Every structure is written in structure tokens, then in C-alpha cells.
Amino acid sequence: MKRKILFTTMIAMFILIFVGCGVEDNKKNETANVKNEFMSLRENYKSKLTKQACAPQKYKELSLPDNASLVNYKSGDLLLKALISNNIDKNKKHPAVVFVHGGFAFDIGYWEIAKPYIDSGFIVMMPMLRGENGNPGNYELIYGEVYDVISAGKYLKELSYVDSDNIFLVGHSSGGAISMIASMMSSDYKAVSSFGGAPLDLKAELDANKQFEQIIPFDTSIATEFDLRTPIKYPHCVNKPLYMFVESKSHISGIQDLTKSFSKKIKENGVESECCVIQGDHISALDESVKRSIEIFKNKIEK
């Protein structure tokens, strides 16, 4: 199953993006203005899509696991599908995790990877995003999908058995890129974790490798399209703690050093961050990354 996930995420690996930092105490007002600038730009700019189409990845009809239910959550005008775990004790409030899959379609193999969260007492929600798995809406490549992920957190917050103060966001591969951008915006997430991310500039990657044009759904002549999908352009706007897990056997040269450098900048600017290099490749490092993130999230719940 993990080999299947590796196949489905190979294209998306090249566009993984994450970076961000917060502010020093003496720059709070300046940072607040910049944060508002980024969020305002994202909220007020409508991507100029050149393709009105579903996500560029085939998917299989969903086979519902025994420990999950299929639900619908609302993102703007779209009604989207998601899996949610049924490990519910109605006598208590549970912490929760939104897990954003890699690639451009949900694969049931990710549910298996998320099982440790369930075993640790977290409610797990895995959203299928716009244009994916038969969902309405168009594929936007890390744009409208960010709002879907934020909306998934809002859905969890309204559930009577979820602890609204302890909702976390994780993402793998392209899901990591989406999660990192979500960390720069207003949301109900307490902290964010990325598995297999890389501090890459989307425009630079496209310039270096024209094969990516086949998965670009927007007008590439507009710089704003790239900017608002690339958090490296707004490094001072992240407002959630960021924990980055990077595989040791990555195809991306220098990814460990780049990630450590960004994590250092995050901490220097007042936002909690950690960079961990995990032994393995893009898929085999996932299990340990999930385990480490559970430890971090539990520690934050206890504080």
C-alpha cells in the first residue's frame, strides 16, 4: 500500500513548499500588518485558472474502513467529502488531527498511516479536497485547496466530542505544502506539522523543469499566482508553531540544510519550530514522522 502511495505522490513531491517565521516582540505591530496583507491578498485574489478541471490524478472508488465514517464538510459553496474516525467517547472531549494526503487524490493507504493518531486518542479527519475523488470544484494547485483544509478544521471544531482547543494539522508531500500555507492564515489549528516538505520556490521549479507545466492550472504569466502559492515570499507571516520532518534519503539535494535554516529563522523570529531529519525515503520516513508529531502534539495538549 505504501508503494502505491509513493507512486501517486511522485509528481507532487516537486512542488512541496514550506517556510515561515514569526516576529520579535518589538515588531509586533509591523508583523500584524504584514500578516493581514498576506491573508487579505489570499482572500481577495481569485486565481486565474486556465483549466476548469478535476485534479490530475486517477482515483479508485472509496472502500470505507471499519473504523471510519464518510462525512460531508462545507468549504465556501462546495460540499466536500472526508473520512473521520469513529473512536468516540461521548463522555469526553477528544483532541483531533486533520491529515492532508499527498498527491492529487485521496488514497486509502493514508488512512493506515494515520492509525497511530487514532490509537493515541485523536479523532482523525482526512479531507478530500476540491476536484478530488469526485468532489465538486476545480483543481487549483495549492490555492483554493488551502481553504478546504481550513474548513476541515472548522468542521471538527463544531463536533460535540472534539476538544476545540486542541485541533492539529498535518500534511504529507503536496499536503505538507497546503498545510504550510494554511499555517500563515487564520484557522482553528493549534499547531502544524509537515512530512516530506522542501523550501522550494514554485516559479523557480517551473523555470528549471518545464514538465511541471502539465500540472499547472493557472495563468503562469501572472507573478501573483506563484507568489500566493509560495510562502517563502512572505516568511514573516506564519502564525502557528511549525514542526518539519524531512526524510534522510530525499531526491532533493540539500533539503536537510535548507529545512534546518528555515527552522532556525522561525525560532529567531519568535515562532516555535523544530526540524527533524528522519531516516528513510519519502514514504518509509512517514511512520516515524507520525510518531514524533504525536509526541509533540500530546506535549502541547498537556501544557
CATH assignment at residue 94: 3.40.50.1820
In a domain, 60, yes or no: no
In a domain, 180, yes or no: yes
In a domain, 57, yes or no: no
Q: Tens place of pLDDT for every residue, the chain, 303 residues? A: 555 555 455 445 444 433 333 333 444 444 444 456 788 888 889 999 999 999 999 998 888 999 999 999 999 999 999 999 999 998 899 999 999 999 999 999 999 999 999 999 999 999 999 999 999 999 999 999 999 999 999 999 999 999 999 999 999 999 998 998 898 899 999 999 999 876 667 888 788 878 788 899 999 999 999 999 987 777 788 889 989 899 999 877 777 887 788 788 778 878 898 989 999 999 999 999 999 999 999 999 976
Listed residue (39, 214, 233) closest to 141, CA to CA: 214
Q: How many CB atoms lie within 10 A of CB 111?
A: 23
In a domain, 68, yes or no: no
Grid cell for residue 197: 516538505
In a domain, 168, yes or no: yes
Packing angle, helices 2-13 and 174-182, rounded to 10: 60
Q: Which domain holds residue 83?
A: 2-52+75-302
Alpha-helix runs per DSSP H in the chain: 2-13, 28-44, 109-113, 115-119, 144-157, 174-182, 202-208, 223-227, 255-268, 286-302
Domain count, the chain: 1
In a domain, 69, yes or no: no
In a domain, 90, yes or no: yes
In a domain, 65, yes or no: no
pTM greater than 0.85 (yes/no): yes
Packing angle, helices 144-157 and 174-182, rounded to 10: 70
